Amino acid sequence: MEESGKRPGGLTALAVINFILGGISLLGFFSVVSGLQMRMIEANEQILNERIQNDPNLVVREPKIAEQKEKLENTKEALNDPIVKIISCSGLVIAALLIASGVGYLKQKKLLGRTMGNLYAVISILLEMANILIVYPKVDEKFGLLSLIGFIYPALTLFLLNVTFKDDLVE
């Protein structure tokens, strides 16, 4: 264990990353709540409809246009599903846990740092699994390499808190 008051640089970096990701999660939450996602989908749908009206043969020449239109409809329908809304709004919980644990890392608090950090990581992994199993099929999204990105930081957090910095969060 290091001297109290001497915080490892890695723990400070982890706190900064938490604050940044917490802010991004808050923006995502407010985007869902304000309906910004739905408005963006409707704007894309309107642009697509105008292109089709201006050129009625567009769908025949470019089958991807019809596929895009169908995908937009499916996404719009999926975003109205209460389960998808709950999963989307969980960003507020994630943001709160990220910010709280970031403060705990800076103050080297066991409860606020390690406990909230571990809680964030577990909830984040569970929510990412819910996204893959529930949301992706509804919006015709396929599991791929990008899907794994949501697991990287939570897994890294679990490792760092429970192995690397386990002796630094003691108060």
Buried b (16+ CB within 10 A) or exposed e, 11-46: beebbebbbebbeebbebbebbeeeebeeebeebbe
- DSSP code of residue 2: P
What's the pLDDT tens digit per position in 91-114?
889 999 999 999 999 999 888 999
pLDDT value of residue 123: 95
- Say if residues 117 and 101 touch (Cβ distance below 8 Å): yes
pLDDT at 30: 81
